[in-house]
């Protein structure tokens, strides 16, 4: 049996957006949200922002995405994949 590359395992297990509390330049509290990975979309970032801020809503301060590539190899096997990094910074209203 061939070894499953670590990147596949990480992609499968990364089904949830993550967040960290941070402070904005104004001193207000904000949330940095990461929804990177092939199994996630921008929708997961928006869902997480909604969970964090509730019915009052949120304002997107910054956000962006970047596409990259990962290549993994062992004896006789080469695996290549694209990865998508997505993040946004929000302020609750």
Q: What is the pLDDT of residues 27-60, one digit of tens each?
A: 999 999 999 887 788 899 999 999 999 999 999 9
Q: Rounded distance, CA 1 to CA 85, Å? A: 31
> pLDDT category, 88, cuts 50, 70, 90?
very high
Q: Rounded distance, CA 64 to CA 43, Å? A: 13
**Could you tell me the residue range of the domain that residue 28 belongs to?**
6-92
Pair of tokens at residue 76: 């006789």
Yes or no: say if 88 and 49 are a contact pair by the CB < 8 Å rule. yes
Q: Is residue 77 part of a domain?
A: yes
Q: Which residues make Cβ contacts (< 8 Å) with residue 25, sequence separation at least 6?
A: none
* Average pLDDT of the chain, as a whole number: 82
Q: How many domains does the chain have?
A: 1
Residue that wins the pLDDT comparison between 1 and 27: 27
Q: Rounded distance, CA 15 to CA 30, Å? A: 23
Q: Is residue 54 part of a domain?
A: yes
């Amino acid at each position: 049996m061939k070894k499953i590359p670590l990147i596949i395992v990480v992609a499968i297990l990364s089904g949830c957006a993550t967040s960290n509390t941070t402070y904005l330049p104004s001193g207000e509290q904000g949330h940095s949200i990461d929804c990177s990975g092939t199994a996630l979309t921008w929708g997961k970032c928006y869902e997480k922002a909604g969970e964090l801020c509730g019915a009052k809503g949120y304002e997107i301060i910054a956000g962006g995405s970047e596409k990259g590539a990962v290549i993994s190899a062992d004896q006789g096997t080469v695996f290549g994949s694209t990865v998508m990094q997505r993040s946004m910074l929000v302020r609750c209203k």
